[in-house]
Amino acid sequence: MPGRHFLQIPGPTNVPDRVLRAMDMPTMDHRGSEFQALGKRVLSGIKVIFQTEKPVVIYPASGTGAWEAALVNTLSPGDLVLMYESGQFAALWKKLAEKLGLRTEFLSGDWRSAAKPDAISDRLKADTDHEIKAVCVVHNETSTGCVAPIAEIRRAIDEAGHPALFLVDTISSLGSIDYRHDEWGVDVTVGGSQKGLMLPPGLSFNALSDKALDAHEKSGLAKSYWDWAEMLLVNKNGFFPYTPATNLLYGLDTAIEMLLDEGLAKVFDRHARHGEATRRAVRAWGLDVLCEEESQHSGSLTAVLMPDGQDADQFRKVVLDHFNMSLGAGLGKVAGKVFRIGHLGDFNDLMLLGTLGGVEMGLAIAGVPHTPGGVRAAMDFLSGQRRAGGDAKVAAA
């Protein structure tokens, strides 16, 4: 089909042309001085994105690798890990933990809201022997579109007086929803390249704390490729212990520059605005947003519930066939029942309206009962925001 494909799944996301061009480079000597300068730049720049002054480890791996790294670097075989069933990604992280020889406990969730600080605090208070060694939470649960209150969960752990480590997955929120590794007292933050960072898949991250580094000293799980020790040692000079994904690092360098040029606060505002505009469209169509908590709606994606008896995957196929647009599938417990609209990464108002236009026309073509006017509702919101000076750059122009 002519024109660009609309890749509106919640990751991987659209890669900006500027990032693609930055990666269009010859392979290089990763032990040479040219690489060293790049290595130093990205290792320092990525800290700003995580809002941390502590080291961030960069792996040539998908996000799943960084999940594994966070666990093997801090825990020992048989350790008990408390996790919260926010949705499919929490369930996958739990499964991975079990395969590594950890014991897990799942606080049950309803897949329509994020991890609850009270439930975590209650469980930790009951753990008087401090058997629980880590609490693992997904910040933006990509299967539901609910965002967990990380600062509140930190307070809940402290209030319980529990020494457990706090591990957080920000793979679909980093660079799109406000996240503060240091200020929120997180011990290991897991990130990935292919969502808010606007890069292709293939890089992932562990942001660390001093407490995480202490835990690393005592951790007994086997590790080699993922071991922070060797990474941190040679990262000091801008190098990596094994061949890094050099071309992706060129892309990362440019992606960090783009995020900081726009300003992180503006990036977060833009995503929040696109989330709100999307929800207004969904409600105007008479459909329900999967996330039920008003304070937890995601700026990176919106999961939409299909009316009873309507197949979300059939609907997605109609949209792909007619408009060359990919929407996200429902995952796990909500497979076939929801579709997900990704509105994160390199994205603007008109791309959102194109996306919502494709969804609205798709609903009509597929014969899904709905009320037209969702795109209108989104336009009214976006133009109203700009009239009110919602985007300072536009107001100044």
Ligand X SMILES: *Cc1c(COP(=O)(O)O)cnc(C)c1O
Residue stretches of the annotated binding site for substrate: 340
Closer to ligand X by Cβ: residue 71 or 284: 71
What's the closest the beta carbon of residue 169 comes to ligand X, in angstroms? 5
Of 88 and 310, nearer to ligand X (C-beta) is: 88
Mapping DSSP onto H, E and C, the string for 337-386 reads CEEEEECCCCCCHHHHHHHHHHHHHHHHHHCCCCCCCHHHHHHHHHHHHH
DSSP state, residue 267:
H
Question: Which CB, 296 or 310, lies closer to ligand X?
Answer: 296
Residue nearest to ligand X (CB): 63
Q: How far is the CB of 138 from ligand X (least distance, A)?
A: 5
For 127-141, b/e burial (b = at least 16 CB within 10 A) is beeeebbbbbbbbbb
| # chain residues binding ligand X, by CB under 6 A | 12
Tell me which of 43, 46, 124, 138 binds ligand X, using CB under 6 A.
138
51 touches ligand X (CB under 6 A): no
Q: Is residue 198 a contact residue for ligand X (CB under 6 A)?
A: no
Which region among 18-26, 56-64, 221-229, 362-370 touches ligand X (by CB under 6 A)?
56-64
| Residue 186 CB, nearest approach to ligand X (Å) | 15
63 near ligand X (CB under 6 A): yes
Cα 311 from Cα 288, distance rounded (Å): 15
> Minimum distance between the CB of residue 360 and ligand X, rounded to whole angstroms?
26
- CA–CA separation, 80 vs 100, rounded Å? 12
Binding of residue 62 to ligand X (CB under 6 A): yes
Strands 103-107 and 132-138: unpaired
146-185 residues near ligand X, rule: CB under 6 A? 169, 171-172
Burial class (CB within 10 angstroms; exposed 0-12, middle 13-18, buried 19+) of 373: middle
Annotated binding site: 340
Tell me which residue of 215, 242, 323, 339 sits closest to 282, measured CA to CA.
339
DSSP per residue, 251-265: HHHHHHHHHHHH-HH
Q: Which residue has the tokens 């040539």?
A: 60
Which CB atom, from 36 or from 62, has the smaller least distance to ligand X?
62
Provide the 10 A C-beta neighbour count for residue 26.
6
Q: List residues binding ligand X (CB under 6 A).
A: 11, 62-64, 89, 138, 142, 169, 171-172, 192, 201
